[in-house]
Structure 1
């Protein structure tokens, strides 16, 4: 999992903050990531307007201005085209946890980020995608797989925090709880409050508070 730092949208962001100094990513990789996000956004727009079933890979490729052959070189099926939007937000969450001070608990740390620029307006494309994933099983599978792929990364962070090992059962269960809280909090915000609340932070905090009741962090 490629951990990046979000510029906006916090745990639902898809934009990477440009670090000071030279960009550590090669130009080819940056172009590849930009193309993947363009494809993902086009896919969400078409899925929302036409429906997932009625949208083809050819439609997505045409919307981006690439050939179908190029599209399939990057993604194995049309539903997987949205994955970059989902993994970028998870990368932002993990990047935030990388800076979690040892002196404070998890919920306190997340609360301290409420005024951070990275927790501004969530990305509308991600919110649309989470709404679609509620009823479309193939998109839901992509969303759940993104979280499953993030699980060992979160376990590694908690292991360093506790001095344990990532394969320790306690660490793995704690990582699963944190991971699920982030997922459910994001879904709850997208489905119920995105139209009335400018930020997902309260929903994520509430989910993490509930999860942290049984966590030693």
Structure 2
């Protein structure tokens, strides 16, 4: 009688470990992009920084620019949760006060200066820009569902859809404005974090006010015209 043949080789990776590897690759890619530029960075270098082969890098990501996508998207669900828990009497601009924006997603995982440098690269690197914008496209439905749930409205309703679009655009514009404005000022890290929070509050206040606010538009809102509340 022969012994039953067991499975040989390495055990399959768990989904949790796969997610960890994706984040490790993403962090390594960011560091390389910031220190030596996107064009000079290869898949082999990214893999070496993590201790995996270039083949493994390409198994997880279709391009070197897309390697950063897990860091961009890491905070989406956390922000959606904050929207669900947003109290009716709480101003939108105070949304991040209990959970610092600097602890969300990519900003919480990497050095603050590295984060700002990464966002700045999205301004000049088309590949990174595409990944950056795609992340916000993917975030918008999650924000719409959260706002709809909070207001007990249909998930595909027009109102939460528009509100999510305004909220999403305000977040992106605030992060970009902060990163690009501090590009050459040599701002201290603690000061930069404070300025980021203030920029986010200002952007969300504008979004909460609506398009007509401050534009000389008469705001005679009826039943179909609502700002964030």
TM-score by length of 2: 0.74
- The CA deviation at 1:118 is 4.0
In structure 1, distance between residues paired with 2:55 and 2:94: 48
Shift of 1:143: 0.6
Instruction: Determine the structure 2 residue equivalent to 1:113.
Output: 98
Gaps of 5+ in 1: 1-26
Structure with greater Cα Rg: 2
**Are 1:44 and 1:128, in contact at CA under 8 Å, matched by a contact in 2?**
no
Residues 85 and 126 in structure 1, CA contact (< 8 A), matched pair in contact too: no
Classify the secondary structure of the residue corresponding to 1:209: helix
Equivalent of residue 173 in structure 2, options 164, 175, 184: 184
> Counterparts in 2 of 1:137-176, with a 5 A limit?
137-176=126-165
- Once the 2 structures are TM-superposed, how far is the Cα of residue 31 of structure 1 from its aligned partner? 2.0
Aligned to 1:87: 73
Classify the secondary structure of the residue corresponding to 1:101.
coil
Could you tell me which residue of structure 2 aligns to residue 51 of structure 1?
37
Any residues of structure 2 matched to 1:194-209 within 5 Å, and which? 195-196=187-188, 197-199=191-193, 200-209=196-205
The Cα of 1:49 is off from its aligned counterpart by: 2.2
CA distance in 2, matches of 1:117, 1:129: 15
The CA deviation at 1:88 is: 1.3
CA 1:58–1:172 in structure 2 vs 1: closer, same or farther (change >3 Å)? same
Distance 1:128-1:28 versus aligned 2 partners, 3 A rule: farther
CA contact (8 A) 2:148 2:160 kept: yes
Q: 1:184 to 1:104 in 2, by over 3 A?
A: same
Stretches of structure 2 lacking an aligned partner (at least 5 in a row): 1-12, 211-226
Aligned residues: 189
Q: Which residue of 1 aligns with 2:20?
A: 34
TM-superposition CA deviations, 1:106-161 (whole Å, max 9, x none): 22444x43779947x85433322111111111101101100100110000011112
In the alignment, is the contact (CA less than 8 A) between 2:32 and 2:41 conserved in 1?
A: yes
RCO higher in structure (CA 8 A, sep ≥6): 1
Asked if the contact 2:140–2:164 (Cα under 8 Å) also holds between the matched residues in 1, the reply is yes
Q: In structure 2, what is the equivalent of residue 24 of structure 1?
A: none
Structure 1 vs Structure 2 CA RMSD: 2.4
